[in-house]
Structures are given as C-alpha cells and as structure tokens.
Amino acid sequence: MRISRRDLLKGAVAAGAAAAVSTDAQARAPVPARPNAVGMLFDSTLCVGCRACQQACKAANGLPPDPAHAAGGVYDAPADLNSSTKNVIKLMSEGGQTQFMKQQCMHCVDPSCVSVCMMGALHKEGEGKRSLPGARPEKAGTGIVMYDKALCVGCRYCQIGCAFNVPKFEWRDPLPLIVKCELCRHRGDEKKSGPLAVANPACCEVCPRGAVIYGEREALLAQARARVAARPEAYNAHVYGATEGGGTQVLYLTAKDVAFTQLGLPSLPEESSASFSESVSHAPYLMGVTPVALYAAMAFVIHRNQKRDAHTTGEGQ
Amino acid sequence: MNDIGIDVTPALEKEGFSRRDFIKVCSMAAGAVGLPAWAGEKMAEQVATGRKPSVIWLHFQECTGCTESLLRTAHPDLGSLILDLVSIDYHETLFAAAGHQVEAALHQAVAREAGKYILVVEGAIPRKDDGIYCIVGGKKATDTLKELAQGAAAIISIGSCASWGGVPSASPNPTDAVGVKEILPEAFKAGKIVNLPGCPANPYNLLGTVLQYATFKTLPKLDEKGRPLFAYARVIHDDCPRRAHFDNGRFAQAFGDPGHNAGWCLYKLGCKGPQTHANCSLLHFCEVPGAWPIGIGHPCIGCTEQGIVFNVPIYKNLDIEKPTAPMAYPGINPEHGVVSRSSVAVGVGGAIVGALVGAGVVASKKLSAEDREKKE
Amino acid sequence: MSATEHARPMGGPLLDRNMKVLLVLFAVAALVVVYRFATGIGPVSNMTDGYTWGIWEPVNVVVFTGIGAGAFGVGLLCYLLNKGKYHALVRPAVLVGAVSYTLGASSIMFALGRPWNAYWLPYAPYWNLSSALLEVAVCVLAYTIVLWIEVLPSILEGAAASRYPKLQALGASLGPRLQKLMPYVIALAILLPTMHQSSLGGLMLIAGPKIHPLWHNALLPTLFLVSCLSMGYGAVVVLVNLLNVTWKARLDQELVAGMSKVNAGLLILYLVLRLGEVVVHGKLRYLGANFATLLFLFELALFAAPAVMFLLPAVQRDRGRLFGAALLTLAAGAFYRVDTYLTMYRPSGWTDGVANAAGWNYFPSMGEMVVTVGMAAVGIAVFIFISRAFPVVVVDETRASNPSRS
C-alpha cells in the first residue's frame, strides 16, 4: 500500500500549520505576589470574639440576617460562612485552650478558585477577562480576588478547588450567586492615598482590639514577623499565609501552643494546588501543538484507511 | 413609743423622715451586703437600742475622696442619718476639732472601745525610709496603724489606696506606698482585714460591711484579695447595662460620635470593665441612678484593680477575662445539620444499586444458560 | 463485509409498555428539574457547600459519558487501527455514545447554578485556559455534536429508504457528501474524547488536599482515560448482548471476545499504573484496617476480575460470563469515578489518610436519585426509538430466519 504524494503533502501541511499555531504560554512557574498586593493580618491572640467584624461585614455588604435553619445556628448568629455570611468568628476550644478564629476569603497569591473558574468570573483585580462594570475600573496589582456574576455559570468548581472552603453558594435561590469576601473593595476611595484607596475592609475598621488590620501584604508580613520576634514566648513562630499553598494575602498569627490546624487552617505545601493541577493538565498539550498535530495525523490515517477500503471492496460506508 | 425601745422617731421627724424611711435605709444597706431584708430591721433595732458600733477612721496618704463619697449623697440629711447608724469616734475630716483635742478624743475612744471598735483606714501607708513620709500628730503612719490595729475588732481598708496602695503607689512609687494588708500581714492572713477598693469606693459597700458586723458580728465572705464577694466577685462587664451592645458589636469609636451618643459599648475607647472587679454597674454613686463612669459615657478606668488603674493607660483596651460562654460561638468545624438523611432515600438508593446488580447477575446467568442449551 | 451484516431499522411499536415506563420515569424527573429551576438547587437536592456536586456531576456527567466512550473505543479500533471486522459494532456504539453524551450535557445544564450564562462558553476570548472544567465543557459540547454527526449516516440511510420522496432525496444527496467528510469527523471523534476524558480526571487534580491520597495523584488524567476506554468497550459488549436478546442482533462472540482482550490489556495497564503509583509514592502506609483500604481493594478487585476473566477461554466462549465480565468493567469504571469525585472527597481534607472533622455529610436526596434514574431512562428510550426507526442495529439474518429460536 503506497501513500500517495498528495496524501503526504496534505499531512505535512496540516502538521506544519499545527506547529505554527500556538496558544497561551502554559509554563507553570510559581506565581509571585502582586506588586501592590493588599490583605489583612489577623492576630488571634488579640481577638476577644466580640464579633463586631461579623456585624460590620454584614452591614457593609448589605447581607441579610441568617435564617435559623441555614447552618443550624441561632437566628442571625451564623455558624459558618454561608451565602449570607462573608466573615465569621469561630471559637477554638481544645484541651483547656481557647482562641478565636476569623474566617473569610484568604485572597490567595495563586488562587485555586481563579485557576478553575471556566470563564474567569473569579479573578484577581485587573486580571479578569473583562473589567467589572462599575464606578471604579479594576486596577491590576492589588491581588484582590473578585467575582463577576455575569460570567459565572454556577458550576461550583471553585468550591471544590478552594482548600479553605471559602466560596459559598446560594442554594435556595433560583438565580444563585457565589458569595465570598472581596476585601470590601467597594469601600475603597480613590480620593484617599495608599492602600485605602483600593479597599477598606469594614472588619478591620471596626475591630476594637486591632486584631485584624488591613494593609499591604509586604508590610503586614513584616509586622507579623516583628510581633513574633518581639514576643516569641507568646506567639507561634510561624506566620500562616507566608508560603502556604503558594501564599495568601490574609495572614494569621496564633498563640504559642496553638497549631494553625486547630484553627481550621489546612496544612498546605508550598506549591499551590493551581500550580500542580495546571502543570499536570497542560503538560501533554505543549501549548496547543499536540491536539492539532494529533488531529492532523489521525485524519490523515483514517482518510487513507477509508480510501484503501473503498479500493478493495468497492463499497463505502 | 414603739417596740424597739428608744424612740428615734422624734429625731427623725425633726429631720423630715419617717421611721419607714429609716428602716428603708437600713434595708438598702442590708441589701447592699446581700443580707435578707429582715436584716435591715434588725440593724435598725441595734441602732435604736443605742448600741451603735464604734468606728475609728484613720487617714494616711489619701485624697479624702472616699470620705467625700460617703457624704455625697443626694440627700445630705440622709447622709448624716447614715452616719448616725454608726458612732464615728474619730474622723479627721468630719470632726470640727483639731490638734491635741482630737488626738485626745482618739486615745479615749481606743481605750474605751478596746477590742470592739472597727478600724477604717483611708489612704496608703508609705514604708520608704522607715515610714517618715506620712507623719500625723507626730507619729508615723506605720506606727499608728500597727498600734491601733491591735485593739480593733475588724479592719476595713476603704478605697484603693488603703486596699493596695492606690494613687501614691503609681510607678515609680517614690514613697513605697502600700496598702493596709502589706503593713499588717498577719491580720490579713487571719481574715481580719476587709478591703474595699475603688477610687472612690462605693459608700454603700462600706455601710453594708459595717452594719453586718454591727448586727451579726460577722464580716462578709472575702476573696483572695480580701475583698467582699458581695461587691467584688464579678467584673463590671458582667453586669454592665451596655453589655448588649458589646455582644452585638456596637462600639463607640470616638467620643461624641453617633455610637457614643447612642450609648453604645465603650470597650473600644479603653473600658476596663472586662477585668475590673466591682459592683458599680449595679450600685451607682451619689444615690443618683446612672451616676457612674460608664453611665455618663466614660469608659471604666478599673479603679479597683491594682495593675490596671494608674498603670494601664485609660484609653488602651484589654483582654476579656472571661469570654462569653463557648456555647455561643460556633466551633471550628460546626455541624451543618442540613442534610436529612432520610431512610427512604437510603432505602431507594440501595434498592436501585441492588436492582442493577441483581439484573446483571440474572441476565448473565440466563445468557450462559442459553449458550449451554445451544451447545447441547 | 457480507450482505448479512447490513443494519436495518428494528421496527415494531414505538410506544410499547417498556417505552411507557421509561417515559414515565423521565416525566417525573422532568418535573423535579422544573421545580429545581423554580426554586434553586438546594430544595430538590442534598447538595451543600460541603458536598457541592452531589451525584449529578459524578454520575450523570462522568459515569454516563464513560459509558458512552464505547463510540470512542470502537472508533479507535475500527477506523484508526483499521480493524474493519468491528464495523458492525460501530453504529450501536456511536448511538449509545451520542445518547450518553446528550444525557451528560443536558444534566450539566440543570446541574449548573446559572446555566443561562453558558452562552459565553463558545466565546474564546473569555476562556480561562487554565481551567480543566472549561476544557471538559467545550470538548463535551463539541463532541456531542460530533457524535450526532456520526449517527447521521444511519438517519440519512433511513431517510433514503423511506416512503416519502422528499426524505428520499435528502438522504440520497446528503449521504454521500457526509461520507466524504467522515474521516475528518471521526478524527475529531477520537481527539475530543481523548482530551476531555482525561480532563475529567484532571478536574480533581486541584482538589489535592481534599481527596484521599490513594485516589489523588498526578496520573488522574491517564487513569481516567484508560478506564473510560475500558468502560466503553465493556459498554459495547453489554449493549450487543442486550440487543441480541431483545432483537436478535448479530452477536459475533469471537469478535466481542477479541475486543474484550483489548479491554483486558487496558484493565491491566490501569492496575499497573494505579498500584505502581501507590507503591512508588510511598502510599502503602495508608492501607490498614480502614474504610479507604476496603474501598481501594474493592476497586482493584473490580478491575482485576474482568481482566482475568477476559483472558480465560471459558469466559470468551460463554456469552453470559463475558457479559458479566463486561458489566464488571462498567462497575469498575463507575466506582472509580464516584469514589474519586465523591466518596473519597472531604471538604476539610485528610491528614495522614484520616478525614479531618468537617461537620458536613451527604447522601443523595430522592430528587437527585429520581433525576438520575429518569435521565438514564430517557436515554434508553431514545436509543430504543432511534434503533426502531433507523438502521442502526445489524440483525443476525440467519438466526432471525430460524423459527426454532425464540
């Protein structure tokens, strides 16, 4: 069986075209923190569980009170993050130790939710597929993870991907949204200077102890380390979020004998899940060359097989 | 004439108060120490029969605020009436006399009431340089205190200064000012010293303690710092009328802001209520309801607590000593009891899987059987 | 190819009792879906923020499309590797594939929370290329269309043979034109499932901390691809046996046994990869007296048993045993998928192979199960309908003409 020159030429041209086509670079190096990354620092040794932050978050985001059945809690006292609670205070009480834990979106440096969102509904500010409509255009570099409901199909893959189980879904709404903290970007004021121009988290503004403070990630990281260095007998030496899962923009400090896992913060490797997933998934694709080349080769072979069959049997199928 | 012997009614009526008012005051005092209402009547009876307890009141390093708070009642006459319930045999502020006369009065009272008088101490006692920094009537405070303590049936330290040193003891404490219990450690260990800290102390706490002793010859139960439990067992935070605001996260952010005007919690402004043991939230000053720091919109400064007042800045805030009961907070992994695993659903699910498995087995067997038939 | 191998419509009543039952099941499911659109997903299902995909994603989408991978597998054998003897299996396999994928795609439409935004999916500038789910969504939608194009020849043939002259003309003119395009369609029909079936495995890569270490590994795409081919071949064997029993469809035992040997190779490859990964990465330490081990060994057994059976001559000769072994491959693939997506998924993750306390639990609700069963039912109904009306199934003429056979 001889392959005709025409077939060969067709195949070669197809393969050549395939090689010339390239899609986005899929090299998956670790993602650095954005240059003007802003975030929060939560020092659980200072938190007294007054829940002012919980109330302020509800007020600032226009969230309704929690109905009693939503998370099995008392009316308006949510037991966990949910579709009407973007920030919650929990109590860790183990072996005689008690500590309060503030839970909200971690605004990861390399977020899993951003990696998995099909249409980029969840994206870092300024890095989405389109800028969210609104008074203030998005500005890249702050690293705030934002949600564009117009692009969201409600697939809830972000809930699967997030290691912190932050995004919540409006299960009882026929027009449901994904709900999570967005660092009160809507409270930012361009007339102000510094990080406050970008965002102004209500929880940080109202905390009476300064247990949660807002600022640029670099500065907060330095502050956290300084606190640990100043009082090593009071703090757990590690600052959570410096490297976990690629790093987060919301950092945590805890008391000396309290492990972060006791506060519900998962123990994560330095490599982000997004990095791992994308590296493995994209490896065979070779920037889009593989599928095109494969298609060309297979079309060529199948066509040749059919022609061969037609010649031998005189029948087509 | 009435059943209690000596008739105080004419004296009361002259002042414009009935016997009922008198018993009311005694009942209030009894209530302040957590005694039952009938104790008030018993107190009144004691008073009426003329066996008023003798009180010797010493002043050392003090501002006289505690005495003033005793006098600052809404009704000055009632104030003096209260003072009539006890026999104040020595008081440097209230006595008109001065100098040798008043010293003589002191010695007479001590001699006359030896073993029976209540020694009330107001003010701290300096120890530095052998105690020369407080000399009254030519005698060092330390000496006076030790001497008079010997004949006292009970010693009451009124005010933070006498309780633990107060203002004079604020860093760097140049005179080494201490409270009564540091000067009289054995008496303290023996439970003879009652500390009533406060700056000023709440006068009703004094009144109640004194009257309890006068009526029942017992001192109220004390904590490890010698403070009566009826007044100092709980912190201000526990009984604060603004507690609901704290629990709901409503804080005044600055003096004069809308939250402050609305009477919201003052925790963010530095209120020391959460760590201050006192009963000011329940028993206000000057007989005026609401006349206490938080009531008028200023955070508590923790004036009863050594280590807080005159030590921690007024507008710096603190840890909560006892957070709200843990039941009120969700755990780190709270139960989400949403899914009702109905047994019907489980049964149906099992049935579906079972049906599929069963059908597969049956079909497989049937096909095998057919094949065997075919072969035969 | 002999004349007896030509497909023909099965005919018969289109709305017999079986069909009525299937359609009733579907009607109930449809009601639930309508209710879901009216009130949200929460009221009809037990899905919560902890277990957010329930059974609709793992079963309706992943398992059903795995069953439909028969089209992929047979197409691979028949057209790419040019083993023309499998030709008779192509049409039924492709129809099962088209139906299964349609079920999967429709299930996605109501499993999504905001399906009206799905119109953005074809808009390439908005694609987030790092998302495996995007790849799955676009690929599955495209592949469903391709599968129905592959079914078209049967439809057009049926049209060409119909009584109505317009349809005849349509069939006669479009048929040959479609024939010319088929190689390019079939190449797509092999490329697309390679991509999305492996991506279905890749979906769970991101959930690393939340999947039990025995199930989470870098080989997830490969394992899903290999097991889907295996499921596909198994599904074809089950299908032809069912067709044979129902309509006396041609069942060449040697042919399916031969295909099953290929399947055995895939099953063994799967086992080697899976076990190898566990051993090489030091995951044997997670085995012990626990549920995970039980499930893991059960899955391995489900893969190993048919692998062994397919290679035994006693099984290869016996229709029933081969059928049973093929069912086992379906079960194996289904279990593997459901375990990876659901059973061994914990919202708060795992520490050393032990699930962290999470406070969430899940069991499918009646609504979810009704919908899954109803979707399967309508899939079967559609298959039956098309097979009756169009030439899909090849009947064993010799056997059919023998009156002693029932």
Please state, in angstroms and rounded to a whole number, the distance separating the CA atoms of residues C201 and C132: 9
Q: Where are the alpha helices (DSSP H) in B86-140?
A: 100-112, 128-131
Q: Which residues of A touch B (CB under 8 A)?
A: 48-56, 69, 71-73, 77-80, 88-93, 98, 100-101, 206, 208-209, 262-264
Could you tell me which of B182, B12, B147, B13 has the C-alpha nearest to residue B82?
B12
Token pair 């398992």 is at which residue?
A: C63
Mean pLDDT over each residue of chain C, to the nearest integer: 90
pLDDT digits (tens, 9 = 90+) for A16-32: 333 333 333 344 777 88
Tell me what pLDDT residue A192 has. 82
Could you tell me which of B163, B184, B165, B182 has the C-alpha nearest to residue B174?
B165
Please state, in angstroms and rounded to a whole number, the distance separating the CA atoms of residues C131 and C135: 7
- Interface with chain B: mutation pick from C25, C28, C46, highest number of B CBs within 10 Å: C46
Judged by DSSP in three states, C16 sits in coil
Token pair 């990465």 is at which residue?
A: C281
Q: Would you say residue C268 has pLDDT above 70? A: yes
Q: Please report residues of C whose CB lies closer than 8 A to that of B333.
A: 348, 356-359
Residue type at position A56 = A
Strand partners, C394: C7
Distance from CA of A313 to the nearest CA of C (A): 8
Indicate yes or no: CB of A55 within 8 angstroms of CB of B268.
Answer: no
Tell me what pLDDT residue C251 has. 86
Contact C169, A265 (CB under 8 A): no
Q: Which residues of B touch A (CB under 8 A)?
A: 246-251, 253, 267-268, 274, 317, 319-320, 323-324, 326, 328-338
DSSP string across C139-162: HHHHHHHHHHHHHHHHHHHHHHTS
Distance from CA of B229 to the nearest CA of A (A): 26
Contact C368, C111 (CB under 8 A): no
List phi, psi (to 5°) of A205: -65, -35
Residue type at position C128 = N
The chains found to touch B (3+ Cβ pairs under 8 angstroms) are A, C
Determine whether domain C47-362 maps to CATH 1.20.1630.10.
yes
Judged by DSSP in three states, B152 sits in strand
Q: Would you say residue A136 has pLDDT above 90? A: no
Instruction: Summarize the confidence of residues C20-31 as an average pLDDT.
Output: 96
Tell me what pLDDT residue A12 has. 42
What would the two tokens of residue C33 be? 């879906």
Please state, in angstroms and rounded to a whole number, the distance separating the CA atoms of residues A124 and A146: 6
Q: Would you say residue C177 has pLDDT above 50? A: yes
Judged by DSSP in three states, C231 sits in helix
Please state, in angstroms and rounded to a whole number, the distance separating the CA atoms of residues B251 and B262: 10
Q: Please report residues of C whose CB lies closer than 8 A to that of B358.
A: none
Which of A48, A93, A209 lies at the smallest CB-CB distance from B326?
A93
More confident site: A194 or C150:
C150
What ipTM was predicted for this assembly? 0.91
List phi, psi (to 5°) of B335: -75, 130
Chain A segment 150-169 residues within 8 A of C by beta carbon are 150-157, 159-161, 163, 165, 168-169
Q: Would you say residue A1 has pLDDT above 60? A: no
Distance from CA of C361 to the nearest CA of B (A): 7
DSSP string across A238-288: --BTSSGGG-BSEEEE-BTT--GGGGT-----SS-HHHHHHHHHHGGGGGG
Is some CB atom of chain C closer than 8 A to the CB atom of A67? Answer: no
Indicate yes or no: CB of C362 within 8 angstroms of CB of B339.
Answer: yes
Range(s) within chain A of domains with CATH label 3.30.70.20: 38-270
Please state, in angstroms and rounded to a whole number, the distance separating the CA atoms of residues B258 and B260: 5
Judged by DSSP in three states, A62 sits in coil
Distance from CA of A193 to the nearest CA of B (A): 22
Could you count the other beta carbons within 10 Å of the beta carbon of residue C106?
A: 17
Q: Please report residues of B whose CB lies closer than 8 A to that of C241.
A: 363, 367
List phi, psi (to 5°) of B87: -105, 100
CATH of A38-270, one of 2.60.40.10, 3.30.70.20, 1.10.1740.10, 2.40.50.320: 3.30.70.20
Q: What is the pLDDT along chain B (376 residues), one digit of tens a residue?
A: 333 334 555 665 666 667 777 777 777 767 766 677 777 777 777 766 656 778 899 999 999 999 888 777 654 454 565 566 678 888 888 888 888 888 888 998 899 888 889 999 999 999 999 999 999 988 999 999 999 999 999 999 999 999 999 999 999 999 999 999 999 999 999 999 999 999 999 887 887 787 788 778 889 999 999 999 989 999 898 889 998 888 778 889 899 999 999 999 999 899 999 899 999 988 888 778 888 999 999 999 999 999 999 999 999 878 765 555 444 678 888 877 655 567 888 888 889 889 999 988 888 888 888 878 877 6
Indicate yes or no: CB of A206 within 8 angstroms of CB of B319.
Answer: no
Which of A115, A155, A315 lies at the smallest CB-CB distance from C130?
A115
Q: How far is CA C194 from the centre of its chain?
A: 13
pLDDT digits (tens, 9 = 90+) for A275-315: 999 999 988 887 788 889 989 998 888 888 888 877 776 54
Q: Please report residues of C whose CB lies closer than 8 A to that of B334.
A: 359
Please state, in angstroms and rounded to a whole number, the distance separating the CA atoms of residues A309 and B6: 134
Q: Please report residues of C whose CB lies closer than 8 A to that of A170.
A: 40, 113
